[in-house]
């Protein structure tokens, strides 16, 4: 599987599914990171973590450890 | 007949301008309280319109109505009229960000499922227009079946139209909204609903029944179903399984269904430009989250924040100080000396004054924080600092509260409200008082200048005194890191909280919102100072004042004088020893000395003085005598008092002022010459000074901090815990410091 963490800056991908579950998944779903949605990596913080994404027209940041659990299709 | 008060619940995502709209509607008619049992602020306001009173309930900003904790449950309970003594609101006012409709409409979908009359306020339409987003407001209203009003909350535009829409919505019945879920889900929910009703006599609103199925983390199940309803729980589980098998997975199914509804609703209503445009917000971000520039800007903002708390607050603090001094003088001059005067002047005015002096710092800090939050920069600061804070198991959101605590833990703890995750918020609040606040500075400065030799290294750039001061700050930081690490692994263990955070578009904050926030927090603090801190101060005052025994003090003074006279009589006539003794007697008899001695003796014979002697065996291993023990107990309400108390004990009188340089040097001299009662050896040396400083770096001697923790956590458990762990930590660290240091410097 390819995870969201492996995206390079400026690249867009489609969200497929979530590995694991729990509150974080629920939270991501509410924030619009749903299966099938387009997500683009905008950049990363100075220390390399967290990552900034664009999804549904707004900016969202996630830690690498969280992005790792999101499976994508480029 | 309809009552003349119409209750409006204000709901919306964070960063949509919700508090600005609330202020637009309610103006100065607002009240802030707490919902019982949770840490959620209850903010209500009201306004008059067309002969009706509209009561506005400002619910906490949220992305979703899927409660996972008691705090999140509040909004749902309010909307469904499930809070004791409160019916459901008459109207829901839903504010959405026009530049970010998709995500905002997720909440719209959930609110419409509650079945209440709803009015949608479309905020920031101006920015949406700038970005080329075209919204057909009329068509949107028709599709939603609710009124939609375009507003610009920060400029107050569209508010009259919004009020008119609220009025007409209160007089009409709501249109039935489209259920976004597939037929199978709706059938299952209806089945579960009637089952709960007939088997458990649990008539739940359909919205909650749906939530029971959708929220798989168990919170709602435990809240709504009786513990012994095993059959119902199993049934619920089977409903979830069957839905998953039919292509409706839990929890993803809800988001997919609702976002599909959002897509259908918005498709022919909103036109967004197809090519990506670089917005103003993007261009600002190119600098502010840039690897190099972003870091530099963050450092500059923090430096500005920090120095403004110290410097801008200083003049205001000295006004407060002289104001309090003036009141004390006026009250003091009106009353005869005695218990009442001392109670009012030293206890009430002095005590509350010592707390109110923090008000300027709190106001400045909150003006800053409100500005940072409203402009959208706060989220960027958290984003930039997250990696660093993750090292101790916290998130970037803890950074600002902890940094603010170097100025004063009170606003630091109050600003921890921005942290969503309860455990993170709690850990942040519990370690915030370990940051060396400005009230510790005088303690450090006096002791360092008196006992740490002023050696210089590296050609005078680095001084030992400065290094010692730095060490005191580091002691606090390292202790905080350690405590956070331990708490995250013991008491507050749990799933690593997520850092799924929106980076909102930048916007110009409204001055009104900033001022309101500032006033709100200032009032919070004054209320705290006026009640709890006030009572604690009175207790400590009484301990230091009673039992007043004038005869005992007079006897002691007479005894000391007699002893001096006897020594003179015994000395050889005309010897230099005799002459110096005579000088001593003359000094002794001066009125100023007698008054100061009286004050000192009264303190020694008070309950506090006795307590100091009582705990001497406990503080002896730290190198302290009973006087220091006494001063530590007396400084419980506010740690900066400790130097003042030592001043009184060492006969400097009560008019003594820590901030005056000559008084400071007088105290330094007294401390340097203080001797143990029995052996006559000097009490203070470097190890004692160090142990005292380390103790004050780590102890929780601040009633304001503890009562704010109580206020923010809504329970006494956490302030008591903070006091216990910090005092324990301070004692052990001071003990180690003294025992090690006294073996190095003998």
- Domain A2-73 architecture: Roll (2.30)
Q: Do B295 and A46 touch (CB under 8 A)?
A: yes
A57: nearest CB among B106, B272, B498: B272
Q: Is residue B283 a contact partner of residue B131, using CB atoms and an 8 Å limit?
A: no
Query: Would you place residue B70 in the very low, low, confident or very high pLDDT band (cuts 50, 70, 90)?
Result: confident
Nearest in space to B61 (alpha carbons), one of B25, B98, B99, B19: B19
**Quick check: helix, strand or coil at residue B271?**
strand
Q: Please, which residues have CB within 8 angstroms of residue B39's CB and are 6 or more apart in sequence?
A: B71, B422, B712, B713, B714
Give the global pTM. 0.81
Which two three-digit tokens encode residue B129?
Answer: 């227009």
Q: Is residue B693 a contact partner of residue B624, using CB atoms and an 8 Å limit?
A: no
The total of other beta-carbon atoms located within 10 Å of residue B197's CB is 13
Most confident of B189-198, B308-317, B356-365, B563-572: B189-198
Task: At A55, give phi and psi (nearest 5°).
Answer: -145, 135
ipTM greater than 0.90 = yes
The answer to whether A7 contacts chain B (CB < 8 Å) is: no
**DSSP E strands, B409-470:** 456-457, 462-463
Which two three-digit tokens encode residue B64?
Answer: 């979703």
pLDDT of residue B192: 92
In whole angstroms, give the CA distance from residue B303 to residue B297.
10
Q: Do A45 and B289 touch (CB under 8 A)?
A: yes
pLDDT of residue B659: 62
A32: nearest CB among B68, B106, B272: B106
Q: Do A50 and B68 touch (CB under 8 A)?
A: no
Alpha helices in B114-214 (DSSP H): 125-130, 137-144, 159-170, 183-200, 206-214
Query: Would you place residue B661 in the very low, low, confident or very high pLDDT band (cuts 50, 70, 90)?
Result: low
Query: Would you place residue B16 in the very low, low, confident or very high pLDDT band (cuts 50, 70, 90)?
Result: very high
On chain B, the residues whose CB falls within 8 A of the CB of A49 are 386-387, 390
The answer to whether A12 contacts chain B (CB < 8 Å) is: no
Chain B interface, mutation test: which of A45, A52, A53, A64, most B Cβ atoms within 10 Å?
Answer: A45
pLDDT of residue B32: 79
**Quick check: helix, strand or coil at residue B489?**
helix
Angle between helix B206-214 and helix B70-79 axes, rounded to 10 deg: 150
In whole angstroms, give the CA distance from residue B423 to residue B402.
15
Q: Is residue B402 a contact partner of residue B480, using CB atoms and an 8 Å limit?
A: yes
Q: Do B387 and A35 touch (CB under 8 A)?
A: no
Task: At A15, give phi and psi (nearest 5°).
Answer: -75, 135
The answer to whether A1 contacts chain B (CB < 8 Å) is: no
Q: Is residue B439 a contact partner of residue B639, using CB atoms and an 8 Å limit?
A: yes
In whole angstroms, give the CA distance from residue B588 to residue B593.
6
Q: Do B387 and A50 touch (CB under 8 A)?
A: yes
Burial B301-323 (b: 16+ CB within 10 A, else e): bbeebbebbeeebeeebeebbee
Nearest in space to B480 (alpha carbons), one of B528, B438, B437, B417: B437
Please name the residue of chain B whose CA is at the shortest distance from the CA of residue A66. B498
Query: Would you place residue B651 in the very low, low, confident or very high pLDDT band (cuts 50, 70, 90)?
Result: low
What does the mean pLDDT of chain B come to?
A: 86
On chain A, the residues whose CB falls within 8 A of the CB of B66 are 26, 30
Q: Is residue B619 a contact partner of residue B632, using CB atoms and an 8 Å limit?
A: yes
B495: nearest CB among A23, A50, A57: A23
In whole angstroms, give the CA distance from residue B732 to residue B735.
5
Any bridge partners for residue B55, and if so which?
Answer: B7, B46
Alpha helices in B57-182 (DSSP H): 70-79, 101-113, 125-130, 137-144, 159-170
With a cut of 80, say whether residue B641 has pLDDT above it: no
Per-domain residue ranges of chain A: 2-73
The answer to whether A30 contacts chain B (CB < 8 Å) is: yes
pLDDT > 70 fraction of chain B, expressed in percent and rounded: 95
In whole angstroms, give the CA distance from residue B642 to residue B44.
41
Q: Is residue B689 a contact partner of residue B451, using CB atoms and an 8 Å limit?
A: yes
Cα atoms found within 13 Å of the Cα of residue B477, Cβ hemisphere only: 10
In whole angstroms, give the CA distance from residue B471 to residue B456.
16
pLDDT in tens, B145-190: 999 999 999 888 999 999 999 999 988 887 778 899 999 999 999 9
State the greatest distance between any 2 C-alpha atoms of chain B, in Å, as a whole number.
115
Nearest in space to B49 (alpha carbons), one of B88, B104, B107, B91: B91
pLDDT of residue A20: 74
Burial class of B186 by CB neighbour count within 10 A (0 to 12, 13 to 18, 19+) = middle
The total of other beta-carbon atoms located within 10 Å of residue B274's CB is 6
**Bond prior to B251 in cis (omega within 30° of 0):** yes
User: Distance (Å) from the C-alpha of residue A40 to the closest C-alpha of chain B?
Assistant: 12
Instruction: Scan for tokens 């660290």, then name that residue.
Output: B733
Please name the residue of chain B whose CA is at the shortest distance from the CA of residue A60. B502
pLDDT of residue B1: 38
pLDDT of residue B3: 59
pLDDT of residue B143: 92
B103: nearest CB among A21, A27, A31: A31
The mean pLDDT value for B675-704 works out to: 85
Residue B660 vs residue B147, higher pLDDT: B147
The answer to whether A74 contacts chain B (CB < 8 Å) is: no
Which two three-digit tokens encode residue B470?
Answer: 């730095």
Chain B interface, mutation test: which of A5, A14, A27, A37, most B Cβ atoms within 10 Å?
Answer: A27
A30: nearest CB among B255, B396, B495: B255
Q: Do B500 and A29 touch (CB under 8 A)?
A: no
User: Distance (Å) from the C-alpha of residue A69 to the closest C-alpha of chain B?
Assistant: 12
With a cut of 80, say whether residue B295 has pLDDT above it: yes
Residue B697 vs residue B524, higher pLDDT: B697
Which two three-digit tokens encode residue B676?
Answer: 């143990």
The answer to whether A58 contacts chain B (CB < 8 Å) is: yes
Q: Do A28 and B500 touch (CB under 8 A)?
A: yes
Angle between helix B686-698 and helix B464-489 axes, rounded to 10 deg: 40
Which two three-digit tokens encode residue B301?
Answer: 């903002």
**Quick check: helix, strand or coil at residue B692?**
helix
The mean pLDDT value for B98-114 works out to: 94
Q: Please, which residues have CB within 8 angstroms of residue B122's CB and are 6 or more apart in sequence?
A: B96, B98, B135, B137, B140, B148, B149, B150, B151
Residue B709 gets the label, from left (phi > 0), alpha (psi -120 to 50) or beta, of alpha
Residue B746 vs residue B167, higher pLDDT: B167
On chain B, the residues whose CB falls within 8 A of the CB of A66 are 498-500
The answer to whether A19 contacts chain B (CB < 8 Å) is: no
When computed from its CA atoms, the radius of gyration of chain B, rounded to whole angstroms, is 32
Nearest in space to B306 (alpha carbons), one of B436, B130, B457: B436
Q: Do A60 and B502 touch (CB under 8 A)?
A: yes
Q: Do B383 and A45 touch (CB under 8 A)?
A: yes
As a residue count, chain A comes to: 74
In whole angstroms, give the CA distance from residue B738 to residue B692.
9
Query: Would you place residue B654 in the very low, low, confident or very high pLDDT band (cuts 50, 70, 90)?
Result: low
Q: Is residue B709 a contact partner of residue B726, using CB atoms and an 8 Å limit?
A: no
pLDDT of residue B561: 85
The mean pLDDT value for B462-487 works out to: 89
Q: Do B254 and A23 touch (CB under 8 A)?
A: no
Q: Are strands B91-97 and B118-123 parallel, antiparallel or unpaired?
A: parallel
B503: nearest CB among A37, A48, A61: A61
Q: Do B217 and A31 touch (CB under 8 A)?
A: no
In whole angstroms, give the CA distance from residue B19 to residue B373.
12
pLDDT of residue B306: 66
Task: At B15, give phi and psi (nearest 5°).
Answer: 60, 25
Nearest in space to B699 (alpha carbons), one of B667, B734, B666, B671: B734
pLDDT in tens, B243-288: 999 889 888 899 999 999 999 999 999 998 877 778 888 889 888 9
Q: What single string gives the DSSP state of each residue in B61-72?
A: P-S-----SHHH
Please name the residue of chain B whose CA is at the shortest distance from the CA of residue A16. B252
Per-domain residue ranges of chain B: 5-170, 183-247, 549-600
- What are B's interface residues with A at a Cβ cutoff of 8 A? 63-64, 66, 68, 99-103, 106, 215-217, 251-252, 254-256, 259, 272, 285, 289, 291-292, 294-295, 379, 383-384, 386-388, 390, 396, 495-496, 498-505
The mean pLDDT value for B15-33 works out to: 89
Q: Between chain A and chain B, how many beta carbons pairs sit less than 8 Å apart?
A: 115
User: Distance (Å) from the C-alpha of residue B416 to the closest C-alpha of chain A?
Assistant: 20
Q: Is residue B737 a contact partner of residue B694, using CB atoms and an 8 Å limit?
A: yes
pLDDT > 90 fraction of chain A, expressed in percent and rounded: 72
Superfamily of domain B5-170 in the CATH hierarchy? P-loop containing nucleotide triphosphate hydrolases (3.40.50.300)
Residue B506 vs residue B584, higher pLDDT: B506
In whole angstroms, give the CA distance from residue B548 to residue B557.
15
Q: Please, which residues have CB within 8 angstroms of residue B495's CB and are 6 or more apart in sequence?
A: A22, A23
**Quick check: helix, strand or coil at residue B167?**
helix
Q: What single string gives the DSSP state of each residue in B640-691?
A: THHHHHHHHHTT--SS--TTSHHHHHHHHHHHHH-B-TTT--BS--HHHHHH
Burial B648-665 (b: 16+ CB within 10 A, else e): bbbbbbbebebeeeebbe
Q: Of B382-386, B424-428, B553-557, which range is least confident?
A: B553-557
Q: Do B217 and A26 touch (CB under 8 A)?
A: yes
B217: nearest CB among A23, A32, A56: A23
pLDDT in tens, B561-616: 888 888 888 888 778 888 888 888 888 888 877 877 887 788 778 888 888 888 88
Q: Please, which residues have CB within 8 angstroms of residue B297's CB and are 6 or more apart in sequence?
A: B287, B288
């Amino acid at each position: 599987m390819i995870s969201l963490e492996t995206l390079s800056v400026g690249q867009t991908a489609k969200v497929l599914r979530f590995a694991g579950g729990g509150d974080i998944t629920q939270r991501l779903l509410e924030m619009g990171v749903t299966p099938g949605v387009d997500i683009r990596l905008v950049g990363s913080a100075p220390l390399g973590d967290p990552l900034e994404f664009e999804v549904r027209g707004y900016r969202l940041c996630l830690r690498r450890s969280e992005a790792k659990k999101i499976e994508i299709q480029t | 007949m309809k009552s003349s008060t119409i209750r409006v619940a204000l709901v919306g995502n964070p960063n949509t301008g919700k508090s600005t709209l609330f202020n637009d509607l309610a103006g100065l008619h607002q009240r802030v309280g707490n919902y019982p049992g949770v840490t959620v602020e209850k903010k209500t306001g009201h306004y008059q319109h067309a002969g009706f009173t509209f009561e506005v309930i400002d619910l906490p900003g949220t992305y979703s109505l899927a409660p996972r904790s008691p705090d999140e449950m509040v909004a749902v309970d309010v909307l469904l009229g499930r809070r004791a003594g409160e019916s459901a609101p008459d109207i829901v006012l839903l504010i959405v960000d026009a530049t970010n409709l998709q995500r905002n409409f997720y909440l719209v979908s959930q609110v419409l499922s509650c079945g209440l009359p709803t009015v949608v306020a479309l905020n920031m339409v101006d920015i949406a227009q700038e970005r080329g987003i075209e919204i057909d407001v009329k068509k949107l209203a028709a599709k939603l079946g609710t009124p939609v009003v375009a507003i610009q909350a920060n400029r107050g535009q569209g508010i009259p139209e919004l009020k008119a829409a609220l009025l007409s919505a209160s007089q009409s019945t709501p249109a039935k909204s489209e259920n976004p879920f597939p037929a199978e889900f709706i059938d299952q929910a209806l089945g579960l609903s009637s089952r709960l009703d007939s088997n458990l006599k649990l008539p739940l609103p359909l919205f909650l029944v749906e939530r029971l199925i959708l929220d798989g983390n168990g919170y709602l199940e435990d809240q709504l179903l009786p513990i012994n309803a095993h059959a119902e729980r199993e049934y619920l589980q089977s409903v979830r399984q069957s839905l998953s098998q039919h292509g409706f997975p839990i929890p993803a199914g809800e988001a997919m269904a609702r976002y599909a509804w959002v897509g259908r609703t918005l498709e022919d209503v909103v036109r967004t430009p197809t090519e990506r445009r670089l917005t103003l917000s993007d261009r600002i971000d190119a600098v502010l989250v840039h690897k190099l520039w972003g870091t530099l800007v963050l450092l500059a903002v923090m430096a500005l924040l920090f120095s403004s708390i110290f410097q801008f607050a200083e003049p205001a603090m000295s006004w407060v100080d002289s104001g309090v001094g003036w009141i004390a003088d006026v009250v003091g001059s009106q009353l005869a000396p005695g218990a009442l005067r001392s109670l009012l002047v030293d206890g009430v005015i002095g005590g509350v004054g010592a707390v109110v002096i923090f008000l300027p710092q709190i106001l400045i800090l909150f003006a800053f924080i409100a500005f940072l939050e409203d402009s959208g920069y706060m989220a960027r600061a958290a984003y930039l600092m997250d990696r660093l804070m993750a090292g101790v198991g916290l998130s970037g959101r803890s950074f600002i509260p902890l940094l603010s605590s170097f100025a004063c833990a009170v606003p630091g703890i109050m600003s921890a409200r921005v942290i969503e995750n309860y455990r993170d918020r709690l850990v942040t609040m519990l370690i915030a008082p370990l940051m060396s606040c400005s009230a510790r500075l005088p303690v450090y400065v006096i002791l360092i200048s008196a006992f740490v030799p002023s050696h210089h290294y590296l050609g005078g750039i680095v001084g030992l005194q400065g290094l010692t001061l730095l060490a005191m700050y580091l002691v606090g930081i390292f202790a905080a890191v350690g405590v956070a690490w331990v708490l995250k692994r013991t008491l507050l263990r749990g799933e690593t909280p997520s850092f799924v955070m929106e980076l909102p578009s930048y916007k110009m904050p409204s001055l009104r919102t900033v001022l309101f926030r500032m006033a709100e927090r200032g009032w919070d603090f004054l209320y705290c100072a006026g009640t709890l801190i006030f009572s604690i101060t009175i207790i400590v005052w009484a301990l230091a004042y009673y039992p007043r025994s004038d005869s005992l003090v007079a006897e002691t003074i007479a005894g000391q004088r007699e002893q001096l006279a006897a020594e003179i009589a015994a000395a050889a006539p005309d010897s230099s020893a005799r002459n110096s003794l005579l000088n001593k007697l003359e000094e002794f008899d001066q009125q100023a000395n007698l008054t100061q001695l009286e004050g000192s003796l009264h303190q020694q014979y008070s309950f506090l003085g006795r307590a100091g002697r009582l705990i001497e065996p406990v503080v002896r291993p730290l190198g302290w005598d009973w006087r220091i023990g006494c001063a530590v107990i007396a400084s419980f309400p506010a740690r900066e008092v400790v130097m003042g108390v030592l001043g009184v004990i060492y006969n400097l009188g009560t008019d003594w002022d820590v901030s005056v340089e000559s008084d400071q040097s007088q105290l330094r001299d007294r401390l340097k010459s203080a001797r143990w009662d029995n052996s006559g050896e000097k009490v203070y040396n470097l190890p004692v000074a160090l142990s005292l400083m380390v103790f004050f770096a780590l102890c929780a001697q601040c009633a304001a901090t503890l009562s704010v923790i109580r206020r923010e956590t809504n329970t006494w458990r956490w302030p008591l815990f903070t006091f216990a762990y910090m005092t324990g930590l301070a004692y052990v660290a001071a003990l180690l410091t003294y025992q090690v240091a006294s073996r190095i410097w003998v």
